[in-house]
Each structure stands twice: as C-alpha cells, then as structure tokens.
C-alpha cells in the first residue's frame, strides 16, 4: 500500500523572537524543514512527501532549495487559514488508497523506529498517534485555585499521526470546529478510536529559542 506524509509548516515563528519563520531557521547549518523532510526520506525513499506551506512563503522555500541544493522529491500544497484547512489542502494531493501521515514541519527529530511503528500499527488500527509519558507534575486549574492530577492518566501527543487514507479524507470532509486541535481529534469526531504507540522523547516541536539550543545539542 502506498505511503504518504503531509508535512505541515505554516508557522510564523513569533515565539522564536525573530523574523524568519521557525521552519526555515537553520540548525546545524541546514533549515529545520529540510531536516524534517530528510528524516522521512531516509525512512522510506518511496514515500510521497507533501509539504504544506503558506503561499507567501513558497518562493522563499524555492530559493532555499536552490541555495542548499535540496533535491528530495516533494509536492507543495497551499497552506490554509488554520492547521485543519492546511491538512485538508495537502490531502487534495493524495490520489491513491494507502496510509497517510501528518507531521509538524518543526519536528525534525522523530526517529525512523517511531515512523515505522506508526505506519505499521495503522495497518491494524487505521488511526495511530505516537505519545510519550508525562514526566512533570501536572496541575489542573479550578475556580478555587488548582489541584494535582495523576500524570499516569495523561500522555503527550506527537506526530506523525497516521491514518487510512479514506478515513482521514472522510474526517476532513466535516465542518471545521475550533475543537479540532490535531488530526486525531478530527478523526475522533467520527466516533473512531485512536490507537497509541510509543513516541521518542527527542521528537520535540521546535517552538522557542530554548528548543533551538536543544536541537543544536541533538545534532551534536
């Protein structure tokens, strides 16, 4: 069965404190987004890569590809108003049945083992997401103040989130609601249960300047 990966990169990088969108910031001498694409290409060179970018950033991306001689095959879809609309745009380029993953463009450190675990589990469960344990103490805000909640009842969700193609397309035919925070929540709105697999702790979403320092350390 054919494998697709939709890489969503629509961030403006405001929490990074700079003008360059976070997906284009270089780490270890190469833009984050290129490292993310390379990770999936290294996992499976036959996977169809679909990159979703705001129209306003696409020419800049082409310039970067020329500058870095980046030639991994990929298609580009137009980013939308929200992540929901961006993923839906990427899905329009998925033409065959199979398995489709959706991944944050600023998560370059997902391991090949996790990617393979997600796609393999999707064959049995149709809807799969990688998660890691919560290691910090968690508190729930209440009207009276706050209270500790049992962290073993919670997981931190990562990407890629992988689904049967027809299922994800059906899910994204629903009307948008602000309750859709990720692809799993869109699929769950159909009444479908989502299967959890183990992620990897290094698979952080690069969002803050501290995350960039961590990324440089991970690259070594």
Cα separation, 9 vs 81, in Å, equals 12
Give the tens place of pLDDT for each residue, 171-201.
999 999 999 999 999 999 999 999 999 999 9
Give the tens place of pLDDT for each residue, 81-132.
999 999 999 999 999 999 999 999 999 999 999 999 999 999 999 999 999 9
Give the tens place of pLDDT for each residue, 4-37.
999 999 755 444 455 788 999 999 999 999 999 9
Question: How does residue 1 score in pLDDT terms, banded at 50, 70 and 90?
Answer: confident
The DSSP secondary-structure symbol of 12 reads -
pLDDT score of 154 more than 80? yes
> Range of 44's domain?
2-219
What is the reported pLDDT for 11?
59
What is the reported pLDDT for 210?
93
Question: How would DSSP label each residue in 139-187?
Answer: EEE-SSSEEEE-GGG-EEE-S-EEEEHHHHHHHTTSPP-TT--SHHHHH
What is the reported pLDDT for 20?
84
Q: Which helix (H) or strand (E) holds 70?
A: none
What is the reported pLDDT for 12?
55
Q: CA torsion sign, 93 to 99 to 132 to 157?
A: positive
What is the reported pLDDT for 167?
98
What is the reported pLDDT for 18?
57
Cα separation, 152 vs 147, in Å, equals 15
Cα separation, 74 vs 102, in Å, equals 14
What is the reported pLDDT for 220?
79
What is the reported pLDDT for 14?
45
- Count of structural domains within the chain: 1
Give the tens place of pLDDT for each residue, 31-82.
999 999 999 999 999 999 999 999 999 999 999 999 999 999 999 999 999 9
Report the CATH number that the domain containing residue 158 is assigned in CATH: 3.90.550.10
């Amino acid at each position: 069965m054919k494998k697709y990966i939709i890489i969503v990169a629509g961030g403006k990088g405001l929490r990074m404190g700079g003008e360059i969108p976070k997906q284009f910031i270089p780490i270890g001498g190469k833009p984050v987004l290129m490292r993310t694409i390379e990770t999936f290409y290294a996992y499976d060179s036959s996977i169809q890569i679909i990159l979703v970018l705001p129209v306003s950033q696409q020419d800049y991306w082409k310039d970067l590809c020329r500058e870095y001689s980046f030639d991994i095959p990929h298609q580009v879809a137009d980013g939308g108003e929200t992540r929901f609309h961006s993923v839906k745009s990427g899905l329009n380029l998925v033409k065959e049945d199979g398995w489709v993953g959706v991944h944050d463009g600023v998560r370059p450190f997902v391991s090949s083992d996790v990617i393979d675990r997600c796609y393999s589990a999707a064959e049995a469960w149709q809807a799969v997401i990688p998660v890691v344990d919560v290691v910090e103490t968690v508190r729930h805000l209440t009207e009276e103040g706050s209270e500790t909640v049992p962290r073993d009842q919670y997981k931190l969700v990562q990407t890629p989130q992988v689904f049967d193609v027809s299922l994800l397309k059906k899910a994204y035919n629903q009307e948008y609601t602000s309750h859709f925070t990720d692809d799993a929540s869109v699929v769950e709105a159909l009444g479908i249960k989502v299967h959890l697999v183990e992620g990897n702790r290094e698979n952080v979403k690069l969002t803050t300047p501290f995350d960039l320092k961590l990324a440089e350390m991970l690259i070594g």
